[in-house]
């Protein structure tokens, strides 16, 4: 639990649930659809100066900046649990909480996919960008989040272009098609049913069509989205595509050998009792059901049928990852890039309290002022390296980190005050 007393300097923090702290059954209860993000952000507008929420299949994380009036991480958690109505499944113990440099490092690792369940998942860069856009469009971002997200995305892009971390990386669409090939071999005589018309569904569909799957049914609550998805596909080759009305799609489930579901529904789209009737019509034929939705679309009980292979996002992550070792070998390279960008951010962040003074000094530049800035910079460089090492090796608690931060700011302000006295002849 992090409690920050009222203090004039804002503190950056992150509180969240991710694949390291909670299983999918818990994560799905706390996940937030993009359209609901502004509502959740609104819950924090009175207690936070800035705020953004990253909610993906692997995590729901809140990055915020305190408004100086005191901060209690328990409040952040309880508001989130209250909004999602996940109190039965989720408890505060499922959350991690970080402040200052550690929370910054967390965002950098998330954006660069080092914190992903499958390292090298390039979709996360887009997801961080989108989360930031939503927060920004709704007026929840300020100078700290602007800077940290910009730096984190810059680091991620650098990692992507300078290392092979994202090369041949796992993606849900790849895993789905790979798993289908492991069950069915050739996909040429198979039929797929795609429920939902999101980005992952589109990528998976594209891969299935490339494998010349015989027929694809697409269904979506909003028919237009299904039609748009069909238009987006770069030609369907030999694959026959058909749109099904969402209200009717269950009548066609028995025709599908592969079902991919990725709706934003909060309840199961396909329940055990409904599938029980369908499985009889399948006459022992195997069915692969890929549920990439969070919260899940398909009743997990359906996996109990012998010839049904029901896979959720965690299952796919653990079963298919051919390039794991290759990607692991470039992690030190990626960490080096992140370290550089993170140090830059921390250098900037720790000077926020003395920024007005620095700007004043720069505007009235003279020899004495130059040496003053140099002194601040040197002081920070020495300390930031220490902070980074503490973050990296996990030494010290949030309270220690906070005390260290306040101590640093105090020293910076002292340097600044002594300079002011010299300038003013005091």
Partner 1 sequence: MFSEPIISIINYLLAGIYVLSSLIYGKHFFSKSNSETTLRILSFILVFVIVLQFLYFLIRGIVYKHAPITTPFEIMTLLAFCITVTYFIIELKTGVTQTGFFIISIAAIFQIVSSIFIEELDKINPVLNSWLLGFHVAFALAGYSAIVISGIYGFLYLKMYNHIKSNKPSNFYKKLPSLFLLEKLAKTSILFGFAFLTFTIIIGIIWLPMAIEEFSYTDPKLITTFAVWIVYLLGYISIKIYRTESRTTMKLALLGLVFAVCSILIVNFLFESFHRFY
Give the position of tokens 């990692």: 159
**Interacting residues toward partner 1 by CB under 8 A:** 179, 181-186, 283-284, 286, 303, 306-307, 309, 311, 315, 318-322
Query: What residues pair up with 60 in beta bridges, in sequence order?
Result: 17, 55
Q: Closest separation between CB of residue 188 and partner 1, Å?
A: 12
| Cβ partners under 8 Å of residue 386, min gap 6 | none
Catalytic: 43?
no
Nearer to partner 1, 72 or 167 (CB): 167
The per-type count for the chain, helices as H runs and strands as E runs, is 16, 12
Bond from prior residue into 205 cis (ω within 30 degrees of 0): no
Please name the residue that has the structure tokens 């940290």: 148
Give 50 or 257: the residue with its C-beta nearer to partner 1: 257
Point out the catalytic residue in the list 43, 51, 57, 241: 57
- Minimum CB separation from partner 1 for residue 300, in Å? 13
Are the C-beta atoms of residues 387 and 331 closer than 8 Å to each other?
Answer: no
Task: Give the span between the Cα atoms of 133 and 379, in whole angstroms.
Answer: 35
DSSP 130-145: HHHHHHHHTT---HHH
User: Nearer Cβ to partner 1, position 274 or 303?
Assistant: 303
Task: In angstroms, give the least distance from the CB of 284 to partner 1.
Answer: 5
Give the nearest distance from C-beta 163 to partner 1 in angstroms. Answer: 22
Q: What is the closest distance, in whole angstroms, from the C-beta atom of residue 210 to partner 1 in the complex?
A: 18
CA-CA-CA-CA torsion sign (242, 246, 252, 253) = positive
Cα–Cα distance for residue pair 310/301, rounded to 1 Å: 9
**Containing H/E element for 61?**
strand 59-66
Q: Using alpha carbons only, what angle is made at residue 315 by residues 14 and 322, rounded to the nearest 5 degrees?
A: 95
Mind telling me the catalytic residues?
57
């Amino acid at each position: 639990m992090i409690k920050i007393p009222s203090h004039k300097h804002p503190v950056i923090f992150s509180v969240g649930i991710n694949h390291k702290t909670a299983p999918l059954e818990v994560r799905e209860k706390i996940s937030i659809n993009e359209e609901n993000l502004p509502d959740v952000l609104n819950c924090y507008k009175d207690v936070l100066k800035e705020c953004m929420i990253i909610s993906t299949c692997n995590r729901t994380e809140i990055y915020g900046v305190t408004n100086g009036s005191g901060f209690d991480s328990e409040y952040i958690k309880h508001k989130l649990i209250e909004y999602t109505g996940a109190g039965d499944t989720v408890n505060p113990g499922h959350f991690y909480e970080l402040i200052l440099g550690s929370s910054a490092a967390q965002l950098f690792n998330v954006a660069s996919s080092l914190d992903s369940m499958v390292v090298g998942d390039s979709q996360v860069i887009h997801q961080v960008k989108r989360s930031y856009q939503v927060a920004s469009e709704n007026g929840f971002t300020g100078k700290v989040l602007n800077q940290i997200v910009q730096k984190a995305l810059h680091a991620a892009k650098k990692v992507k272009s300078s290392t092979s971390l994202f090369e041949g990386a796992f993606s849900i669409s790849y895993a789905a098609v790979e798993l289908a090939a492991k069950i069915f071999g050739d996909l040429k005589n198979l039929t797929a049913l795609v429920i939902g018309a999101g980005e992952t569904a589109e990528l998976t569909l594209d891969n299935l069509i490339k494998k010349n799957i015989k027929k694809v049914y697409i269904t979506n609550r909003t028919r237009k989205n299904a039609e748009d998805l069909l238009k987006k596909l770069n030609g369907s080759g030999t694959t026959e595509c058909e749109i099904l009305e969402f209200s009717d799609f269950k009548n066609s489930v028995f025709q599908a050998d592969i079902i991919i579901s990725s709706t934003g529904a909060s309840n199961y789209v396909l329940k055990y009792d409904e599938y029980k009737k369908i499985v009889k019509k399948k006459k022992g034929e195997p069915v692969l059901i890929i549920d990439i939705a969070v919260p899940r679309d398909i009743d997990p009980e359906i996996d109990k049928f012998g010839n049904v292979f029901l896979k959720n996002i965690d299952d796919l992550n653990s079963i298919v990852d051919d390039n794991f070792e290759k990607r692991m070998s470039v992690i030190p390279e990626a960490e080096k890039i992140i370290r550089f960008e993170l140090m830059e951010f921390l250098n900037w962040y720790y000077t926020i309290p003395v920024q007005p003074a620095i700007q004043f000094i720069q505007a009235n530049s003279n020899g004495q002022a130059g040496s003053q800035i140099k002194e601040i910079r040197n002081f920070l460089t020495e300390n930031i390296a220490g902070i980074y090492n503490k973050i990296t090796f996990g030494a010290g608690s949030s309270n220690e980190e906070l005390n260290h931060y306040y101590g640093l700011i105090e020293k910076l302000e002292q340097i600044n005050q002594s300079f002011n006295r010299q300038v003013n002849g005091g």
